[in-house]
């Protein structure tokens, strides 16, 4: 079985390509890579309805299993929906991995959770109080404007990790592919010192998942959110960031080439 994971499609951001062309290209790539399962690790769009419609469109186009988790952008408030209402919408969808681990076979399973950021990836020069402002040098972290969980980011991160552990317990007898939106390992934050990301790394990842790597047989941790790509191995766990990112950030203007570079493929026998 071949499992492909990609994140941060941002199909409604300014681009030379239409939303239809994003779907067509990803479907062609899935076919060329002979994927049996396509995982989308969040930030499909800035509209929960459009994001889910894209998942449905991909299922129609490739006629294979398509699973997803929402990213922070997918939670942005539209249509007068609250963050919790959007979360409940996603949780009710059969393709959403949160609450629904996907059993590959007797040996392997996929667990997915959006996760949330807990400020621990920022420089220690900033206090929690300063980071909670989510504003630095005139720039505002846009979740401050578009997302309202009714609790602190740190609390949201804790709750996300608890939800993930609940799903991990359901498949604790298996080898696990863990899919999150936010970064689970600090090696994927923006390198510091950095004049901006000493601060904004606070909103890139979480340390709350670290104990889970010790407790469960997680073999892969696939993530997005930060818009660069890369892989590393630690203690027998393969970590990979699979972000496509904004069109303006691409190395080339060729959508197929960029998606190919972002897509991570795992082959399970």
pLDDT tens for 158-208 read 999 999 999 999 999 999 999 999 999 999 999 999 999 999 999 999 999
Q: At 237, is the secondary structure helix, strand, or coil? A: strand
Distance CA 76, CA 53 (A): 16
Judge contact between 179 and 97, C-beta under 8 A.
yes
Confidence tier at 8 by pLDDT (50, 70, 90): very high
pLDDT above 90 coverage of the chain, percent: 98
Please classify residue 78 by burial: count the beta carbons closer than 10 Å to its beta carbon, then call 0-12 exposed, 13-18 middle and 19+ buried.
middle
222-35-21-10 Cα dihedral, nearest 10 degrees: -10
Nearest C-alpha neighbor of 13 from the set 99, 142, 133: 142
- Mean pLDDT in residue range 56-69: 98
Around Cβ 62, how many Cβ atoms within 10 Å? 19
Q: What is this structure's pTM?
A: 0.97
And the tokens for 118? 């807990």
- Mean pLDDT in residue range 12-18: 98
| Rg from Cα positions in the chain | 17
Judge contact between 209 and 184, C-beta under 8 A.
yes
Judge contact between 13 and 246, C-beta under 8 A.
yes
Confidence tier at 59 by pLDDT (50, 70, 90): very high
215: domain CATH number? 3.60.21.10
**Residues in CB range of 116: below 8 A, 6 or more apart:** 72, 153, 156, 157, 159, 160, 182, 206
Domain that holds residue 167: 2-267
- Mean pLDDT in residue range 39-60: 98
Find where tokens 């929960």 sit.
48
And the tokens for 263? 């897509």
Structural domains in the chain (count): 1
What φ, ψ does residue 32 adopt, rounded to 5°?
Answer: -65, -30
Number of alpha helices (DSSP H) and beta strands (DSSP E) in the chain = 9, 12
Distance CA 241, CA 263 (A): 9
């Amino acid at each position: 079985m071949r499992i492909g994971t990609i994140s941060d499609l941002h199909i409604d951001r300014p681009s030379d390509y239409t939303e239809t062309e994003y779907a067509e290209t990803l479907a062609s790539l899935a076919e060329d890579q002979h994927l049996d399962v396509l995982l989308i690790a969040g930030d499909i769009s800035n509209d929960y309805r459009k994001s889910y419609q894209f998942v449905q469109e991909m299922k129609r186009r490739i006629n294979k299993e398509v699973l997803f988790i929402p990213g922070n952008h997918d939670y942005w408030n539209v249509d007068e929906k609250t963050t919790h209402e959007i979360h409940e919408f996603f949780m009710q969808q059969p393709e959403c991995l949160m609450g629904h681990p996907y059993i590959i076979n007797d040996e392997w399973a996929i667990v997915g959770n959006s996760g949330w950021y807990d400020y621990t990836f920022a420089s220690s020069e900033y206090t929690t109080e300063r980071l909670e402002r989510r504003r630095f040098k005139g720039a505002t972290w846009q979740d401050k404007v578009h997302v309202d969980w009714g609790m602190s980011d740190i609390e949201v991160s804790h709750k996300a990790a608890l939800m993930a552990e609940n799903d991990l317990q359901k498949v604790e007898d298996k080898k696990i592919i863990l899919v999150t939106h936010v970064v689970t390992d600090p090696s994927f934050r923006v390198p510091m010192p950095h004049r901006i990301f000493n601060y904004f790394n606070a909103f890139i990842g979480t340390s709350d998942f670290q104990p889970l790597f010790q407790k469960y047989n997680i073999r892969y941790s696939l993530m997005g959110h930060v818009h660069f790509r890369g892989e590393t191995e630690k203690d027998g766990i393969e970590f990979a960031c699979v972000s496509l990112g904004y069109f303006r950030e691409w190395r080339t203007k060729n959508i197929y080439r960029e998606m190919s570079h972002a897509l991570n493929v795992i082959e399970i026998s």
